[in-house]
Structures are given as C-alpha cells and as structure tokens.
C-alpha cells in the first residue's frame, strides 16, 4: 500500500485530470448548445449542430459523473460542505442539464416552428447555465467560502446564495462561459460545412481573444486585489484527516505564493492565455484540428491555474480559518484512497479508450443535405 501523503497528492492530480477531461469533452457539448441560437439560423442548421454532438454528449457526461464520484469517495468533507453551501446553485445546474436530453429527444418530434424554437432555447439554457455556474463556483473557491465546523466536523454554511454572486465570481463565470463556447465553436468547425462552419470560425476567433482577455483580467485581479490563505502551523501529510488541527491566516497576494516557490507552475496561466489566442489565429487560418487542440490546451491551462493557485487548499473558509479544507486533511482513509487508486487505474483508461473510439467511428463532417435526406446521420 502506498503511503498516505503520496495517495493524497495522487488524488489531487487525478481529480484535476477528471475535471479537465470533463471540460474538454462535455465542454464542447455545452458550448454547442449555448451557440445553437447564435450560429444556427435555420432549422436545418440547428439540426446539423445538434447531430454533431448527438453521438457523444451522453458518453462525455461520464467524466462529470466520475469526477463527482471521485470527490464523494476521496474527499467526503469537500463533497458534504460544497453541497451544503452551493445547494441551490447545484440544483439550478441539474435542472439546466435536464434540458439537454429532453431537448435532444423531443425537439424534432413535432415540426411546429414554435415547438422547435422553445426546445432550442431550452438547449441554450442547458449549455449556458452550467458553464456559468461552474465558473462562479471556482471563483468562490478561490476567494474562500463562509462555512464552519463544530467539534464533530459537522459543516454549517453561513453565507447566502446571492453572496456567491460577487464580482470576482461573476468574472470567473464569464471566463468559463467564453472558454466553453470557444471550444464548442471549434468543434463545429471540425464537424460542419457551409454557413455553420463560417459562422463558427467567426465566433471561435472572437471568443479566443475574449477568453484570453477575461482570463488575463482575472489573473490581474488575483495578483493585485485578492487575498489568499496560508497554513501557519506544522502539518503532517500522513496524519488522519481533521482540518481543525491546523492554523490558517489570510495573506495578501497569497494566491501567488506557489508561483514564487514553484516557478514552473507559470506554465498553466501562460498556456491558458497563449492557447486561447492561438485558437483564434488557427480558426482564421481554417486549421480546425489544431484549433481544437489549442482550445483544449487553453481549458487545461485555465483549470490548472486555479488548482496551482489554491494548492494545498481545496475549499478555504472565510469565517473559521482553521476549518479550511486542504488535500492533507479532507480526504478519506488511506485504505479507501488506495483501493480507489487501483480502480481508477483500470477504469480511467477504459473511459479514454471508448471515448477515443467513438470519436474515431463518428469522424467526418455533417452537411445540411444529410439532414434533409433523413439519412442515418440525422439522429435528431
């Protein structure tokens, strides 16, 4: 059995990988849904867009489910505390995500334009709302969340739903929206032709620049106007989980501490900005495959920046500083992490394999003629 400290660090990395996997795969699904009423101008064009993600969207959600399950099993305190604090936001996200399977299945069952338009807006909400809320959640995690623990480690959220909608969190939400819509537009470049393709190039070019600008603005805000957290007591990375045994202080510019200790971490924010700009440039040059790669790298860079900035914190507390949850004191037992590690070593490669295979089998572009002729391409 691996030592406890190593397992805790491994699970921090693995959950990061799962979140990036979700953002890269299901992210373009959300992006396409949110772009449905902007890029698609006719019913046929919107059906083309829906059919580009039709074979993949439900399989891509496995990354989301796996990440949620991993957080529940590996970091139960994080799971319990986050669901207490973000309950209404998570329920709103869930309600928005329901719109996707309903919209995909019911949109084309009736040819009434009002019926289809209604489902188009439902799919728009199903893409935009989760993208916004995920970003707002990360924005709040970076600032800290108002929660407390009692002597029995029972969490109590002391904030409000509207308190989550603070200026920095909203900016983080806009970064998430622009990032995922950029990714969805690049996916449409890969999978469509004619006017849908041309509009997707325009949207991806604009959003590549917007994503870089918003992410750069968020980084500047973190650097000059956002406090961070530091552990001021000794901590045993191999000790049983109990967040109340440490002391924590608020530190001006604390979110930048790791970059001075580990300069190589600067790769993440540079990648987040540089790859987004590269996506805009490659889209203009009609290099769709390379644009999809750089869009994926930008997403990875942005998520890694959040993780590197907070390390070792996972969910800082603004009202009871020593209750802040870190990778060293919020995990399950050593045995649980060890068993989960070997399960992940079996199933994550399987997920990667069948995801790659599905993309390979369903490769190629969709045309409006495929939809008009009701060929086998037209799933919806």
Instruction: Provide the pLDDT for residue 376.
Output: 46
What mean pLDDT is predicted for residues 163-188? 95
Number of domains the chain contains: 1
pLDDT band for 306, please (50, 70, 90 cuts).
very high
User: By residue range, what is the domain housing residue 155?
Assistant: 4-372
Determine the average pLDDT of the residues in 236-240.
88
Which residues lie below 8 Å from residue 327, measured CB to CB, with a gap of 6+?
A: 8, 9, 11, 12, 311, 312, 314
Has residue 177 got a pLDDT over 50? Answer: yes
Residue corresponding to tokens 């790791």: 258
Tell whether 344 is covered by a domain: yes
Q: What per-residue confidence (pLDDT) applies to 379?
A: 57
What integer is the mean pLDDT of 149-165?
A: 86
Strands (E), the chain: 147-149, 155-157, 227-231, 248-252, 313-315, 325-326
Whether 380 maps to a domain, the answer reads: no
What lies within 8 Å, CB to CB, of 245 at 6+ separation is 239, 322, 329
Q: Confidence band (pLDDT; 50, 70, 90) for 380?
A: low
Provide the 10 A C-beta neighbour count for residue 224. Answer: 10
Mean pLDDT (the chain, rounded)? 90
Classify the phi-psi angles of 311: left when phi > 0, otherwise alpha if psi is within -120 to 50, otherwise beta. beta
Q: Let me know if residue 363 belongs to a domain.
A: yes
Residue 377 lies in a domain: no
Task: Let me know if residue 98 belongs to a domain.
Answer: yes
Q: Tell me if 378 is assigned to some domain.
A: no
- Residue 291, pLDDT > 60, answer yes
- Name the DSSP class of 147: E
Give the phi and the psi of residue 252 in degrees, each rounded to 5. -55, 135
In a domain, 313, yes or no: yes
User: Which is more confidently placed, 347 or 136?
Assistant: 136
Instruction: Please indicate whether residue 360 or residue 281 has the higher confidence score (pLDDT).
Output: 281
Q: What percent of the chain shows pLDDT beyond 70?
A: 97
pLDDT digits (tens, 9 = 90+) for 94-152: 899 888 888 888 888 888 889 998 999 999 999 999 999 999 999 999 999 999 998 88
């Amino acid at each position: 059995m691996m030592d406890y400290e190593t397992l805790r660090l491994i699970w921090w990395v693995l959950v990061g990988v799962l979140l990036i996997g979700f953002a890269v795969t299901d992210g373009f699904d959300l992006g396409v849904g949110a772009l449905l009423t902007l890029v698609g101008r006719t019913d046929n064009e919107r059906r083309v867009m829906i059919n580009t993600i039709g074979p993949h969207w439900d399989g891509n959600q496995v990354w989301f489910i796996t990440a949620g399950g991993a957080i529940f099993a590996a970091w139960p305190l994080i799971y319990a505390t986050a669901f207490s604090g973000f309950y209404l936001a998570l329920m709103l996200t869930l309600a928005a995500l329901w719109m996707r399977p309903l919209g995909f299945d019911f949109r084309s069952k009736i040819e009434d334009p009002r019926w289809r338009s209604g489902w188009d807006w439902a799919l728009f909400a199903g893409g935009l709302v989760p993208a916004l809320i995920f970003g707002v959640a990360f924005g709040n995690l970076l600032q800290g969340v108002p929660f407390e623990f009692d002597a029995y480690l029972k969490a109590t959220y002391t904030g409000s739903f509207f308190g989550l909608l603070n200026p920095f969190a909203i900016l983080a939400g806009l970064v998430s929206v622009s990032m995922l819509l950029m990714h969805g537009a690049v996916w449409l470049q890969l999978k469509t032709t004619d006017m849908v393709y041309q509009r997707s190039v325009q949207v991806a070019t604009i959003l590549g620049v917007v994503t870089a600008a918003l992410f750069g603005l968020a980084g500047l805000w973190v650097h000059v106007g956002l406090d961070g957290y530091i552990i001021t007591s000794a901590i045993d990375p191999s000790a049983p989980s109990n967040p109340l045994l440490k002391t924590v202080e608020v530190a001006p510019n604390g979110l930048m501490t790791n970059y001075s200790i580990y300069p190589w971490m600067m790769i993440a924010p540079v990648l987040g900005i540089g790859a987004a700009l590269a996506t805009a440039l490659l889209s203009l040059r009609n290099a769709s495959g390379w644009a999809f790669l750089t869009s994926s790298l930008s997403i990875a860079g942005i998520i890694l920046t959040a993780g590197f900035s907070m390390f070792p914190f996972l969910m800082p507390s603004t009202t009871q500083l020593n209750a802040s949850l870190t990778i060293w004191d919020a995990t399950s037992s050593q045995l649980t992490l060890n068993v989960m590690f070997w399960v992940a070593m079996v199933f994550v490669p399987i997920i990667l394999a069948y995801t790659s295979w599905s993309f390979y089998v369903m490769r190629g572009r969709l045309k409006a003629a495929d939809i008009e002729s009701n060929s086998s391409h037209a799933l919806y």
